[in-house]
């Protein structure tokens, strides 16, 4: 009990960093995903290819390799220097972006063609149709899958401890080394992750219910 | 003075030529009904009139714009051409009122209060004032189609296109929708109606086009076309549906 009390403030500190990375990375990742999905669906072939290559490369390589490539690989270039926080957020964002892109593409394509035709027949532009009609409906449909990917990304942030980011997992390692109580330490760390992810899925269920009035 | 002029219109999907050589002129305030067997190209013909289908060949002049000209701003032309679909295609995430006001606000840039007021008038006209706050999912098929008509009318179009507007409806809903369309015809709207409702075509149409195999096989005023068809294919089609 004493151990837990002493360790808790460190865990809260680590959790804050975890959440900070998670929130920025998921927002950036989502924007990347949206842009890449629209590129994938655009009539311009080069944009399509670029989108396909990006998604395939990210899906075809392990997260940890992506992290090492960005933090060690890119940082070894003379003209580039990133601190670990920046590299960590970037990796999670780029990784999530590829998966979000596929989710968003599928979501957009799942909307009936008649919706586009109705909007266009009213004189709306392609962009207005996308923003007013297609995306709002697609997002509703995508919400469960988006939440799922966000949860995966949150878990991925734990790997950033490897490059020395003081996130929740890193704090666990530090506390294990100072207290010699791995059972208590990892139970606490696990619980904290669990609570955050549980809250996240509650939020998603709440939004889903709000959006599906009909 | 014709508001629509179609010359040598051709449309192919891949190797399949759906419209072979369509020539027709439609006058302002005219109500033209298009009938024919399924696969005859009537819906495709209608969809070429606002370029929902890319046109393969020929010319389509709508409201004095040649919409086959790739340089034309098709959105401007579509503002003047309302369309009603077989499957309504209402926006399910927006209320009835929002469905109707969306295009006036976003495309015509009218202010919201004005758009709302006009939308309520249109809902009165189609008999659905009390549904303004409902979502499309809460309406019956006939109600949805009447909202769809109101949505198209909210742009104050010069022409209305109807693509089998009653084909997806339960029989008891058809009458309400046809009544709204008839009222619209009486008010002098230019209308092109692809339909299987022969009664409506006969009663409301100024002219009926019979299409088959990608051509307009026969056209005439409804009385003459229905009672004394000239062409063999028209005769055989009418004998099956009347």
Nearest-by-CA chain B residue for A214: B137
**Structure confidence at residue A1 (pLDDT):** 74
Enter the pTM of the model.
0.87
Which residues of B fall within a CB distance of 8 Å from A121?
A: 50, 52, 78, 81-83, 152
When CB atoms are compared, the residue of A112, A117, A136 closest to B52 is A117
Mind listing the pLDDT tens digit for each residue in B122-152? 999 999 999 999 999 999 999 999 999 999 9
**Structure confidence at residue A33 (pLDDT):** 97
**Structure confidence at residue A210 (pLDDT):** 81
Between CA A128 and CA A130 the distance in angstroms is 5
Angle at B96 between CA B92 and CA B97, to 5 degrees: 130
Which residues of B fall within a CB distance of 8 Å from A136?
A: 93
Q: B147 near B136, Cβ under 8 Å?
A: yes
CA neighbor of A7 nearest in space, from A130, A177, A148: A177
Which residues of A fall within a CB distance of 8 Å from B93?
A: 136-137, 140
Q: In 10 A of CB B125, how many CB atoms?
A: 17
When CB atoms are compared, the residue of B76, B93, B103 closest to A122 is B103
Q: Which tokens in the block code for residue B222?
A: 């409804």
Q: In 10 A of CB B111, how many CB atoms?
A: 9
Q: What is the DSSP string of A3-56?
A: HHHHHHHHHHHHHHHHHHHHHHHHHHHHHHHHHHHHHHHSS-HHHHHHHHHHHH
- Please tell me if residue B165 touches chain A, with a CB cutoff of 8 Å: no
Q: Which tokens in the block code for residue B78?
A: 């579509």
Between CA B237 and CA A159 the distance in angstroms is 71
Q: b vs e for A73-98, b when ≥16 Cβ sit within 10 Å of the residue's Cβ? A: eeeeeeeeeeebbebbbbbbbbbbbb
- Percentage of chain B with pLDDT > 90? 97
Between CA B74 and CA B55 the distance in angstroms is 13
* For chain B, counts of helices (H) and of strands (E): 9, 10
Average pLDDT over residues B222-226: 95
Q: How far B169 CA sits from the closest chain A CA (Å)?
A: 17
H or E stretch covering B66: strand B65-66
Mind listing the pLDDT tens digit for each residue in A123-180? 999 999 999 999 999 999 999 999 999 999 999 999 999 999 999 999 999 999 999 9
**Structure confidence at residue A79 (pLDDT):** 86
- Write the CA distances from B228 to A191, B197, B238, integer angstroms: 83, 18, 10
Between CA B219 and CA B235 the distance in angstroms is 13
Examine the pLDDT at B118 and tell me if it is beyond 60.
yes
Average pLDDT over residues A12-29: 97
Which residues, including other chains, have CB under 8 Å from residue A146's CB and lie 6 or more apart? A30, A100, A103, A139, A204
Mind listing the pLDDT tens digit for each residue in A45-101? 999 999 999 999 999 999 999 999 999 999 999 888 889 999 999 999 999 999 999
Is A214–B90 a contact, with Cβ atoms under 8 angstroms apart? no
- Write the CA distances from B153 to A191, B165, B189, integer angstroms: 58, 15, 10
Which residues, including other chains, have CB under 8 Å from residue B35's CB and lie 6 or more apart? B42, B194, B195, B196, B198, B201, B208, B209, B210, B211, B237
Mean of the per-residue pLDDT values for chain B?
95
When CB atoms are compared, the residue of A112, A117, A137 closest to B93 is A137
SS3 A112: coil
Q: Which of A43, A119, A122 to mutate to test the interface with B (most CBs of B within 10 A)?
A: A122
- Please tell me if residue B114 touches chain A, with a CB cutoff of 8 Å: no
Is A118–B83 a contact, with Cβ atoms under 8 angstroms apart? yes
Tokens 């957020």, residue located: A89
Between CA B52 and CA A161 the distance in angstroms is 54
**H-helix segments, chain B:** 42-48, 74-78, 96-106, 112-125, 141-153, 171-186, 198-204, 222-227, 232-241
When CB atoms are compared, the residue of A120, A124, A214 closest to B52 is A120
Q: How confident is the model at residue B1 (pLDDT cuts 50, 70, 90)?
A: confident
Tokens 């100072």, residue located: A178
Q: b vs e for A35-70, b when ≥16 Cβ sit within 10 Å of the residue's Cβ? A: bbbbbbeeeeeebeeebeebbeebeeeebeebbbeb
Between CA A138 and CA A134 the distance in angstroms is 6
**Structure confidence at residue A208 (pLDDT):** 85
H or E stretch covering A144: helix A135-156
Q: B190 near B3, Cβ under 8 Å?
A: yes
Between CA B40 and CA A168 the distance in angstroms is 67
Average pLDDT over residues B223-239: 94
- Please tell me if residue A114 touches chain B, with a CB cutoff of 8 Å: yes
**What distance separates the 2 farthest-apart alpha carbons in chain B?**
55
- Write the CA distances from B225 to B86, B201, B230, B237, B239, integer angstroms: 25, 10, 8, 12, 12
SS3 B102: helix
Q: How far B84 CA sits from the closest chain A CA (Å)?
A: 8
Examine the pLDDT at A212 and tell me if it is beyond 80.
no
Q: How far A197 CA sits from the closest chain B CA (Å)?
A: 29
Which residues, including other chains, have CB under 8 Å from residue A58's CB and lie 6 or more apart? A66, A94, A95, A97, A98, A99
H or E stretch covering B211: strand B207-212
Is B155–A112 a contact, with Cβ atoms under 8 angstroms apart? no
**Structure confidence at residue A213 (pLDDT):** 52
């Amino acid at each position: 009990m004493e151990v837990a009390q002493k360790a808790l403030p460190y865990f809260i500190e680590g959790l804050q960093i975890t959440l900070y990375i998670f929130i920025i990375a998921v927002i950036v990742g989502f924007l990347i995903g949206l842009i890449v999905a629209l590129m994938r669906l655009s009539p311009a072939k080069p944009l399509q290819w670029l989108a396909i290559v990006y998604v395939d490369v990210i899906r075809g390589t392990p997260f940890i390799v992506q992290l090492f490539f960005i933090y060690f690989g890119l940082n070894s270039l003379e003209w580039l220097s990133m601190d670990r926080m920046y590299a960590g957020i970037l990796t999670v964002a780029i990784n999530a972006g590829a998966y979000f892109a596929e989710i968003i593409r599928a979501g957009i394509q799942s909307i009936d063609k008649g919706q586009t035709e109705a909007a266009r027949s009213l004189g709306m532009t392609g962009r207005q149709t996308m923003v007013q009609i297609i995306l709002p409906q697609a997002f509703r449909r995508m919400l469960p899958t988006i939440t799922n990917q966000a949860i995966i990304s949150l878990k991925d942030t734990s790997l950033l401890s490897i490059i020395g980011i003081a996130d929740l997992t890193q704090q666990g390692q530090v506390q294990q080394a100072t207290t010699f109580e791995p059972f208590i330490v990892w139970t606490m760390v696990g619980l904290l992750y669990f609570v955050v992810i549980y809250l996240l899925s509650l939020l998603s269920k709440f939004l889903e219910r709000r959006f599906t009035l009909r | 003075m014709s508001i629509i002029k179609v010359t040598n219109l051709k449309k192919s999907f891949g190797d399949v030529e759906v419209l072979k050589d369509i020539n027709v002129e439609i006058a302002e305030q005219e109500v033209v009904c298009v009938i024919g067997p399924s696969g005859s190209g009537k819906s495709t013909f209608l969809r070429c009139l606002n370029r929902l289908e890319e046109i393969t060949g020929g010319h389509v002049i709508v409201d004095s714009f040649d919409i086959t000209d790739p340089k034309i701003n098709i959105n401007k032309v579509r503002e003047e051409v309302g369309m009603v679909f077989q499957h309504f295609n209402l926006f399910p995430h927006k209320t009835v009122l929002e469905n109707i006001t969306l295009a006036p606000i976003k495309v015509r840039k009218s202010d919201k209060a004005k758009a709302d007021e006009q939308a309520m008038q249109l809902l009165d006209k189609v008999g659905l004032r009390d549904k303004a706050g409902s979502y499309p999912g809460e309406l019956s098929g006939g109600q949805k189609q009447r909202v769809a008509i109101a949505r198209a009318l909210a742009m104050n179009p010069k022409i209305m296109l109807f693509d089998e507007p009653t084909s997806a409806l339960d029989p008891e809903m058809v009458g309400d929708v046809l009544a709204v369309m008839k009222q619209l015809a009486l008010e002098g709207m230019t209308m092109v109606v692809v339909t299987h409702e022969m009664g409506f075509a006969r009663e409301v149409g100024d002219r009926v086009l019979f299409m088959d195999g990608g051509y307009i096989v026969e056209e005439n005023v409804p009385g003459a076309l229905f009672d004394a068809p000239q062409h063999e294919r028209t005769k055989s089609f009418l004998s099956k549906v009347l």
